[in-house]
Structure 1
């Protein structure tokens, strides 16, 4: 009997001690960030667990011996692994992002090297695949890429020359910084043409940050910034060509080459764009101007060792753009209204990246830009010519330090900007020399992991701004700005995240406003720019993001953003006495913009669907009066579907733009715009056809754009809808 009892006790002991616990830690392979909400399952059983906010989980009652476990998480590839139990060590599992996980793209604008998912600042990424799709629609410039982003409006400023500027969250284009690889090259006098002169085919991705970004980028980043990230050379050669023709008599020729040869690398991007004046509404005035543009962007890379990278690049662009009365443009008549924009851009870029010991890095950047532009109107309208030359430089030194739970960035930079009015005749009230401006800034930024679920990014910047006339040595009283900013990321689970951010910003005095651009800077006392104060702002953004896999083939993501920005002392044009002359002044009041954006993305196998809606309420509060900011659509809706396989890509898109307030207080008409694109792909390249705005929606269908005589026409003051109408384009891409 005792032997039987002893046998039962030993058996029970074997059963009890044959069950062990298994501890796991689950992280992202690329970002090395914890993954909360990952599911762990002991295969062949119902025994499972879910990782907590620290990415840890414990499987209990696991039998001894070899066991197979499966680990899965939303947005990551599932892993099945064999482990021998018992083990005293914590099993560390690294999950690889799935192909559909767009949030694993590395962000460069925030300089921390984090992914979108782990960055406390909200960043929207337009990646290479989407850029390739948009290039089928308009390979000549980037306007279509930004126009189709929620909360962004491309605002045309001229009927005949088709100049345009960029608005984010309802604010004018001067409040958005347009960068290339972190260099501010497309501001000032170039801003009215910049969107029309930047081709997209050498871009790796486009990063859009909405809201104040003053810490790292200083003046002008009030509404946000757009950073164009170009491709870098790799050991595998990249050689591609694109040829595109349009029903509007346009032709685009593009070529790109990149390769790394050991310690040297090179990229070369060349484009030539030709556009014949186009008049879809048959009023004898161009709705698309005659354009001839050539762009060259060579860049050389040197890798002297594994820790050092040096790059030096050149940007050259030459464009002649003329619109107006077609018989004059086609040389059938000598008299008639024309508007001519000639521009020449030469810019250099230099960058040194040096990785130091103890997870530190040093970056040195320098750029020089010379932009010359002339605007010429005909003798029939009193022979006006505005000819300006802008010289600007940018120099920055920054130091990055990575610690276990925090990243630090320290830096200093210097902007210089000089503008000279070189017009031979420009009216009696305009001074021949304008201004010089210098901005010296110091900044510090910290990104801190407070817990596995909470990260905080905070920063502080101090800028000293000096503006003075270029023909005197008298220095105007400098302005000093202390600019704090913060962004907080909360990971509630693998499906739910939220970001809250805000800060102060400013815009240094500039004469290059949308109002001045519409008037071609005519009858404006240019040197009044040194008499105005900088504009200041305060802003706040809050967004909630949800992402889940409904089935193995169906993924849903929803992002809801709320925003508010207040802009004090906005710079406007005001008449001088009872004359027709105008000057820049600070308005007595403020502008505020508030609203929300909703973005929904659904992916089912090879089908991608996107829905974006923005509500933007932007108002001016001047001199005790309050009204909506003109030409800002309160309601905008964007819907698109894309089907893509190895051989075929096809997509449909629809835009709705709601009513906008006119300058005279009236309201515009709402309208829809539809498009369709199809591309057939082979190993050597592809052939594509795009039907843009195939319903032929244009403003000339709603109202007359031009009245008066061919010699002295009167153009509609507000452009709120497309003027070019239906355009069909097509071409081919070669990859060698």
Structure 2
């Protein structure tokens, strides 16, 4: 009898151990309490993965007795891990799991730059995105231009191109600005002669998102994106109409006034953005020269959006801008010219461009796109005894086909670029013309949830062509891979080839004001050729009540036959450039508190004539940190700090390292916001550490500008939200 009893007990234990259970889940949003469709529940130990239905429900059968961790994730929400013991006490009742929605920069965003419309976490190409919340914050700090916006991103360095005119360019991964493309809504509107003023003429207030690719981006956007590209994405009509105005005043004699209108009807919509920016000449260091030039600028950007039926849509926009920028001797700017006070730099520019985009949906996964921009840019650069005026006419036209399948996606298309500069006065020999014809194809292959491969190939033909061996034809392969290790870890690896047609539009020409430049001998000048690679590792996940997002990137770029300025002529250097380095970004979110830390290491070496040396004006080390407290739609306060390491200057000296700090406070109500912001609180200025020029005030020779000149600047303003 005892043996029978023992066998029964063992049998019951065996049956209990091998019993199979079913888990019933209901996934809901923690704020709205509404069910979430498409959420993913995972039991890693059992290799079980399920998706929630339209009611947020998930059934996970065949779960053995024991303890298991269930991980629930959803795009735009924090991951939630819950440990459950089976059998459950109330197995017939569903387990409700609430996911907290992400906010601000930690939320997932849809990427437009790679044309597929996928979430950033699913794209093999490494694309950084600044969402609307962050752009709103940066827009109140400096409403007049995007210098600050780009300068605070790891891996990007903003470099002054004039000591008195406030002009600047930006460099990605230590490479000159000519290796980077600046796009507006995917259209190249700031190339060539017009690119020299782009950073100081584009307002951040009209943007809803900024996307950045670091490293070769040749397939879709041409070989010129050697170091990367920045895509400025404008606001579009929303269901809720908007009419807002922003008024800003700063302590450096600057005033900004802008307005934005947005309206969407059933099949048509419109956005209108207009701004006026004024700055009086400002000399923070009493050097006798303007640290901030006298500036008057007006811009207008209306757009119309039209949805034609269920398959066709288009939008049409116009950009109009006029600017008069005068820097130099403060006495000359004030109108007190005499035999001693004569030096000035005046930039008078006009922009007029059109943008057109048309999309036809063939079905839910396939579409045809056509887009075009035509731009006219007129600029006059005046200095004592010199006046250069040029008119640039450029255009870009593209037709592409996009197929988004479950496993395989395709983007294929053709494009045509035209660019022409006609000098009207000054150095007439700088006339320039170029046509580029391109064909491209890009494939995205995702055979498994944990792996995706993006490969691309581009063929470009240029006329006129540079010196052999290319004869103007370039074949550019590119490949990127994405490995999703688990719900928290992922990694990307990629690289590609690029090229840059020789031209005179770069930082050296801007610093020289196109004065004394000799015309480019295209038939004796090679195109610059590049190869680049990068790899990164990403982590995102909850640590208790804190959400952590971590990214670490390493990169390597090589540019052969780079153009350098010698004796007022651009020639190919006998050698190559090597740019290598690393970036680290850390973001922490704890309820209303956000902490950000970024570090950039860049080492750029010039290997000419068999010897190597550091590239000038390239700090090896840069740090930026940001602490923000924000109650959504109510209050925002933040403090930030930036460190710029020492850098080699053109005269062989070494520019000192420095820290700058900023502070922002913003209060929001239903119909208006008020804000106050302070930049460079410790008043770090290059003019405090020595003279910024040699020679006389009549004929100054300016040194390399590697640090701020405007010093401490405080601005305050109000935003009125009429609708």
TM-score by structure 2 length?
A: 0.89
Unaligned runs of 5+ in 1: 41-47, 64-68, 470-474, 576-581
What is the match of residue 283 of structure 1? 287
What is the match of residue 656 of structure 2? 669
Structure 1 residues 17 and 377, CA gap change in structure 2 (3 angstroms):
closer
Question: Which string of whole-angstrom CA distances, capped at 9 and with x for unpartnered residues, describes residues 19-44 of structure 1?
Answer: 544489999999999958x459xxxx
What is the distance in 2 between the residues matched to 1:505 and 1:566? 10
Aligned with 1:454 (options 444, 451, 455): 451
Structure 1 residues 84 and 155, CA gap change in structure 2 (3 angstroms):
same
Unaligned runs of 5+ in 2: 30-34, 53-58
What is the distance in 2 between the residues matched to 1:59 and 1:369? 63
Conserved 8 A contact 2:246-2:258:
yes
What is the match of residue 416 of structure 1? 418
What is the distance in 2 between the residues matched to 1:33 and 1:155? 46
Greater mean alpha carbon deviation, residues 435-444 or residues 477-486: 477-486
What is the distance in 2 between the residues matched to 1:311 and 1:209? 25
What is the distance in 2 between the residues matched to 1:540 and 1:176? 16
Aligned with 1:696 (options 662, 683, 692): 683
Question: Which string of whole-angstrom CA distances, capped at 9 and with x for unpartnered residues, describes residues 126-155 of structure 1?
Answer: 111111111111000011110000110000
What is the match of residue 579 of structure 1? none
What is the match of residue 355 of structure 1? 361
Structure 1 residues 112 and 31, CA gap change in structure 2 (3 angstroms):
farther
RMSD: 3.5
What is the match of residue 487 of structure 2? 494
Conserved 8 A contact 2:17-2:64:
no
Aligned with 2:591 (options 605, 614, 618): 605
Structure 1 residues 257 and 101, CA gap change in structure 2 (3 angstroms):
closer
2:204 counterpart SS class: coil
Aligned with 1:364 (options 365, 370, 373): 370
Shift of 1:119: 0.8
Conserved 8 A contact 2:436-2:460:
yes
Conserved 8 A contact 1:302-1:310:
yes
What is the match of residue 633 of structure 1? 619
Structure 1 residues 28 and 229, CA gap change in structure 2 (3 angstroms):
farther
What is the distance in 2 between the residues matched to 1:476 and 1:299? 44
Are 2:706 and 1:720 aligned? yes
2:707 counterpart SS class: coil
What is the distance in 2 between the residues matched to 1:26 and 1:153? 48
- Counterparts of 1:219-368 in structure 2, within 5 Å, are 219-334=223-338, 335-357=341-363, 359-368=365-374
1:414 counterpart SS class: strand
Conserved 8 A contact 2:223-2:476:
no
What is the match of residue 156 of structure 2? 152
2:502 counterpart SS class: coil
Are 2:557 and 1:565 aligned? yes
What is the distance in 1 between the residues matched to 2:422 and 2:73? 59
Shift of 1:205: 0.5
1:104 counterpart SS class: coil
What is the match of residue 376 of structure 1? 382
Aligned with 1:397 (options 358, 380, 399): 399
Shift of 1:191: 1.7
What is the match of residue 140 of structure 2? 136
What is the distance in 1 between the residues matched to 2:485 and 2:48? 12
Conserved 8 A contact 1:242-1:253:
yes
What is the match of residue 60 of structure 1? 63
Are 2:208 and 1:204 aligned? yes
Structure 1 residues 436 and 476, CA gap change in structure 2 (3 angstroms):
farther
Question: Which string of whole-angstrom CA distances, capped at 9 and with x for unpartnered residues, describes residues 604-634 of structure 1?
Answer: 1111011101110001111222111100000
Conserved 8 A contact 1:222-1:505:
yes
Structure 1 residues 17 and 332, CA gap change in structure 2 (3 angstroms):
closer
Aligned with 2:670 (options 675, 683, 688): 683
Shift of 1:50: 6.7
What is the distance in 1 between the residues matched to 2:36 and 2:182? 28
1:526 counterpart SS class: coil
Question: Which string of whole-angstrom CA distances, capped at 9 and with x for unpartnered residues, describes residues 260-280 of structure 1?
Answer: 111111000000000000001
What is the distance in 2 between the residues matched to 1:322 and 1:461? 43
Structure 1 residues 191 and 332, CA gap change in structure 2 (3 angstroms):
same
Question: Which string of whole-angstrom CA distances, capped at 9 and with x for unpartnered residues, describes residues 493-526 of structure 1?
Answer: 1111000010001112221111111111111112
Are 2:185 and 1:192 aligned? no
What is the distance in 2 between the residues matched to 1:95 and 1:406? 31
2:163 counterpart SS class: coil
Greater mean alpha carbon deviation, residues 656-665 or residues 74-83: 74-83
2:198 counterpart SS class: helix
Matched length: 694
Conserved 8 A contact 1:435-1:467:
no
Conserved 8 A contact 1:466-1:477:
no
